[in-house]
Homo-oligomer: A and B are copies of this chain.
Amino acid sequence: MAATKDPRPCSIADALTLVGEKYSLLVLREVCLGNGRFDQLVRNIGAPRDILATRLRRLVEAGILTKRAYSERPQRYEYRPTQAGLELEPVLMTLMAWGDRHLRKDDDRPMVIEHICGNELVPLVTCQACGGTVDHADLTAHPQAPGWTVAGPSAA
């Protein structure tokens, strides 16, 4: 009998094993803001230095960040997002918008993002095909993995 330990195969889960650990998405936030230096990350995120070092290694090896020297003698490094890292920014924006809407009173947003169009960014998640916004009621899930239905594993 197989192990009772095969969770649903899922790209959300896979993405979270890379960026779901504590502080990882905050590292990405700072790095996208242009703050890629170690001490800056420590101050702006408030994470322990050793944990931060671990996360940075992991994000670099995952291809989400790159480490580059901005000075030889003395050697000094900074972290910058890769293309894959930059493509996580929409996730951050969507999460920030959710936090602004549900966790704050009125308009006390700690950060406003300006879009190139000149307006304040209010991110919407839309369907590429029809352009409509993505709402729960409009979605139907189709698991592709063999042995899995929406409800769970079939015929264990």
Contacts and interface: CB of A to CB of B under 8 A. Distances in A.
Interface of A: 4-16, 18, 20-22, 25-26, 29-30, 32-35, 40, 43-47, 63, 81, 84, 86-104, 108-130, 132, 134-145, 148, 150-153
A86 B143 contact: no
Contacts of A127: 115, 117, 119, 121-124
Contact of A10 (B110, B151, B152): B110
A114 B141 CA distance: 6
A99 to B, nearest CB: 3
A106 to B, nearest CB: 12
Contact of A100 (B11, B81, B89, B108): B11
A138 B115 contact: yes
7 contacts: A14-B103, A15-B99, A35-B150, A115-B127, A117-B127, A117-B132, A125-B125
Nearest to A90: B125
Which secondary structure dominates where chain A touches chain B?
A: mixed
Contact of A8 (B44, B95, B96): B44
Contacts of A148: 110
Contacts of A113: 139-142
A46 B129 contact: no
B129 A126 contact: no
Given A20-B25, A34-B151, A120-B129, A15 B141 contact: no
Given A25-B16, A103-B11, A121-B134, A98 B88 contact: yes
